[in-house]
Amino acid sequence: MRYRSAAHTPVTYVIIAVNILWFLAVELPRGLGAYGLVASGACAPVLVTSGDWYRLLSAMFVHASPTHIVLNMISLWSLRMVEVWFGSAKYFVTYWLSGFIGFLLSTAITSPMTVSAGASGAIFGVFGAVLYMALRGILTKNVRNQLIFILALNLVYDVVTPSVSLAGHVGGLVTGVMCAALFVQRARMQVNVIAICCGILTAVALAFAYFG
């Protein structure tokens, strides 16, 4: 399938824009240390279980360093074709659920004081969707090889970055595979209302993170 402009992948470009804006306007002024990340909406199990539910969503837009956000945004941009294949609504639901479940899993099994952040869990969900299509033979070997290369880069960054949750990435990856299996088998399935609800919840979570 071909696309010529951002009009074909609007959700991808909106997500990238919000991530960059959040990093520049919120994170940099508050600092990139542990306290700054928490103040910007990062996820910490002790805070989530104390009532800060919004961190399971806002943490998707918080990044530990310039390298972290650059790598994530390049990875997301390279996977923008998934939005063309699935459609914007299904693509966003896949991204959102993968990030949310990734941080939920991380909260459940990591130390209460662990601070984790990043769009990586959600992006790994998109990776999972592509991986599913590659394994089903829907994609070419060339696309599959590119996917493996980008996935390897992200895994290396996971290992060397303490503030990135490997459990969250695995949760996101599995969620993405499951979403792809559902959406490929039920191509006519409509999730527009779900996507809108996900967007509203994300906006509310970011508002809590900014003002809270």
Tens digits of residue pLDDT in 92-101: 999 999 999 9
Judge whether 14 lies within some domain.
yes
Confidence of residue 4 (pLDDT cuts 50, 70, 90): very low
Structural domain tally of the chain?
1
Judge whether 1 lies within some domain.
no
For 203, the enclosing helix (H) or strand (E) is helix 192-211
- Smallest CA-to-CA distance from 70 within 35, 23, 30 is with 23
Judge whether 144 lies within some domain.
yes
Judge whether 53 lies within some domain.
yes
Owning domain of residue 56: 6-211
Confidence of residue 75 (pLDDT cuts 50, 70, 90): confident
The model carries a pTM of 0.91
Judge whether 203 lies within some domain.
yes
Judge whether 45 lies within some domain.
yes
Residue of 98, 120, 163, 165 marked active site:
120
63 is known as an active-site residue: no
Residues 6+ apart with CB under 8 A from 151: 127
Residues 6+ apart with CB under 8 A from 156: none
Judge whether 46 lies within some domain.
yes
Confidence of residue 140 (pLDDT cuts 50, 70, 90): confident
169 is known as an active-site residue: yes
The two three-digit tokens of residue 104, written as one number: 């939920």
Distance between CA 76 and CA 123 in Å, rounded?
Answer: 6
- Answer whether 47's CB lies under 8 Å from 37's CB: no
Distance between CA 163 and CA 179 in Å, rounded?
Answer: 26
Judge whether 93 lies within some domain.
yes
CATH of the domain at 95: 1.20.1540.10
Average pLDDT of the chain is 89
By residue count, the chain amounts to 212
Looking at residue 173, what is its pLDDT?
Answer: 92
